Amino acid sequence: MLRSEALDRLASAEYAHLATITPQGEPHIVAVTFVVVGDTLATMVDHKLKTTQRLQRVVNVERNPKASLLVDHYSDDWSTLWWVRVDGPATVHYDDEYWQKAGDALVAKYAQYTEDRPEGPAIRLAIERVSSWESTP
């Protein structure tokens, strides 16, 4: 898959999976809404998670910036499978210019955020390495 094609599929994916590493050195994986912002991927803590905004993913990235985000297509028809993965350093943003921009972009992408704009910390993942795979029937 060409890099441009991979980036297109990434941008139009509805949601993704984010992997980070806990302070105890364990892999941590969550499903996230996200959006492409320039040469970064942004995901934010939103109202879907009310108990705390100090989520594990935020704690992890603050301690260890290594992160990976995967979008993929699954189907019973295994000749149609594909995935795109982005690896790069991540940082946490709150109440700054990037946080504002990420919030705007998420509201623009997801109708569900129109009434409930995400207000928690943003995680910014630099699009450093792009990998992809596609089933070849």
Q: Which residues bind a second copy (CB under 8 A)?
A: 14-15, 17, 19-21, 25-31, 48-49, 66-70, 72, 74, 76, 78, 81, 83, 85, 87, 112, 133, 135
CA separation for the pair 71, 97 (Å, rounded) = 26
Q: Which is nearer to a second copy, 62 or 72 (CB)?
A: 72
What's the burial of 52, exposed, middle or buried (CB within 10 Å: 0-12/13-18/19+)?
A: exposed
CA separation for the pair 32, 45 (Å, rounded) = 9
Supply the minimum distance, in Å, between the C-beta of residue 68 and a second copy: 5
Supply the minimum distance, in Å, between the C-beta of residue 97 and a second copy: 27
Q: Which is nearer to a second copy, 96 or 135 (CB)?
A: 135
Neighbours of 2 (CB within 10 A): 8
